[in-house]
Amino acid sequence: MHRNLIDGHWREPAEVTRNINPSDTREIVGLYARGSAADARHAVEAARAAFPAWAESSPQLRHDILARAANELLARKEELGRLLSSEEGKTLPEGIGEVARAASVLAFMAGEALRIRGDRLPGLQPGSDTEVTREPLGVVGVIAPWNFPIAIPAWKIAPALAYGNTVVFKPADLVPGSAWALVDILHRAGLPNGVLNLVMGSGSQIGGVLCSHPEVDAISFTGSVPTGRRIAADCVSGPSMKRMQLEMGGNNPLIVLDDADLEVAVECAVQGAFFSTGQRCTATSRFIVTEGIHDRFVRGIIQRLDRLNIGHALRADSHIGPVVDQKQFDVDLEYIDIGRKEGARLAWGGEVLERDTPGYYLQPTLFTEANPSMRIAREEIFGPIASVTQARDFEEALHIANDTEFGLAAGICTTSLRHASQFKRQAQAGIVKVNQATSGLDYHLPFGGRKASSYGPREQGQYAVDFYTVVKTAYTSA
């Protein structure tokens, strides 16, 4: 049984829960503690008590711990990739790739711990010295989703620790295994007691404590828009308004123009919409396609989908694994039904698949003849379902692409430099891609969106410093 880590000790839980393998629902992946609100409060107190010493700890120490953890993660990527794929359902290469990426994030942030920032501005005022420095924030609550169960926690926890903050981490209920392994590795790499705490359990209960506790200085959250809105309200309702970083949903478009390289466009479309079972926040859910290439593009996708195997995440011949759980499976089926009723044409998929293990297997699903006002084109589905809408020209395609409450990622396939440049300038998204799938991002670069997809400073790379530190301006007269 995997326990919660509070103040450097693995705590005996009052309640135990288990997670299920979505590729084979008969299989229990592991047993995990289910923390209480009291555990969450205890963890916050431990993080608060550990903060002053950690904030003053040497950058070298923080570097060494993160680097050791990065090495262990990398050395165990196959084993942890299996665990991740077993609880989340992405294929084994994707699971191993995610663990390796988490290791890279830790290694990068180990380097960041050594990068001491600050400015001294002599002579700005006569007889006075002025300095601008960055200090750690304090206690950071990390609340993570299920779809990248090790990479997302890693890219929140690693910068928090690197810049001298302490952390209380609440993973998503469906994927405690990867979260637990990450915390275990960081703990054994030498973190002092209380610097990193883990409380698994209910979102509203544990997350609720983190967002309302006066001793938590900041919340870094990734998840859905409705949960993000609730968290935002909680974070500003207490005596101290918490700093927030909210990374939320998307409804990401891929524009395909007549002059696109068809093969490139089809590959971007299939990779972006259907791999990882469409369960990426940057997955493409809308193809906006001009008339001249429309039919060839749809045919190309269908031919490509026809060659993909949907199956058990750990089987070598599976290209796409199952949907994560019954709830998401039901949501996907409901949207397929909605798409049919709204009058879109079901061009491929839509069927539940039987496999030799009982799991949440769904055919990748493509609707055509969708119009931009349909729910399947406006709402985040978060499954292997995408729709095609026709546009007259680039201008109309861009208008449709931007006509959404979301603004995470957007892509275009074109060989026109003019349209590519205009798209990069005018697409209302935090991440824009030209002749690439909307998903698939580099951990060195800033990550985040606009509009309802994102609130607060960017994650990842050197930009993470803006969230995890507070700027102080000092004036000194001799």
> Considering 247, 267, 380, 459, which one is annotated as catalytic?
247
Residues ≥6 apart with Cβ < 8 Å to 181 = 76, 80, 83, 150
Q: Least distance to ligand NAD from the beta carbon of 242, Å?
A: 12
DSSP secondary structure, 263-306, as one string: HHHHHHHHHHHHGGGG-STT-EEEEEEEHHHHHHHHHHHHHHHH
CB of 475 to ligand NAD, least distance (A): 38
| Contacts (CB under 6 A) with ligand NAD, residues 243-272 | 247-250
Give 469's DSSP letter: E
The interface region with ligand NAD, picked from 27-35, 43-51, 69-77, 141-149 by CB under 6 A, is: 141-149
The least CB distance from residue 162 to ligand NAD, in Å, is: 20
Q: Identify which of residues 30 and 192 has a Cβ nearer to ligand NAD in the complex.
A: 30
- Site residues for ligand NAD, window 215-244 (CB under 6 A)? 222-224, 227, 230-231
Task: Pick between residue 8 and residue 208 the one whose CB is nearest to ligand NAD.
Answer: 208
Amino acid at 345: R
Q: Would you report the helix, strand and coil content of the chain in percent, each value rounded to 5? A: 40, 25, 35
Which of 221, 216, 161 is closest to 192 using CA atoms? 161
Side-chain-side CA neighbours of 427 within 13 Å: the count stands at 27
Q: Is 154 in the site for ligand NAD (CB under 6 A)?
A: no
Residue (162 or 231) nearer to ligand NAD, CB: 231
Assigned token pair, 415: 């060989």
Spatial separation of the C-alpha atoms in residues 346 and 302, rounded to whole Å: 11
Which C-beta is closer to ligand NAD: that of 72 or that of 87?
87
Nearest approach, Cβ of residue 107 and ligand NAD (Å): 21
| Spatial contact of 161 and 139, defined as CB atoms under 8 Å apart | no
Scanning 260-414, the segments in alpha helix (DSSP H) are 262-274, 291-306, 326-342, 375-378, 394-402
Contact status: 145 vs ligand NAD (CB under 6 A): yes
Residue 397 or 408: the one with the smaller Cβ distance to ligand NAD is: 408
Question: In the annotation, is 247 catalytic?
Answer: yes
The count of C-alpha atoms lying within 13 angstroms of the C-alpha of 430, restricted to the half-sphere facing its C-beta, is: 27
Provide, rounded to whole angstroms, the least separation between the CB of residue 100 and ligand NAD. 18
72/247 with CB nearer ligand NAD = 247
20, 27 Cβ separation under 8 angstroms: yes
Site string for ligand NAD, 412-451 (x = CB under 6 A): ----------------------------------------
Q: Which residues are catalytic?
A: 247
Q: Where on the chain is the footprint of ligand NAD (CB under 6 A)?
A: 143-148, 170, 172-173, 203-204, 207-208, 211, 222-224, 227, 230-231, 247-250, 281, 380, 382, 408, 453
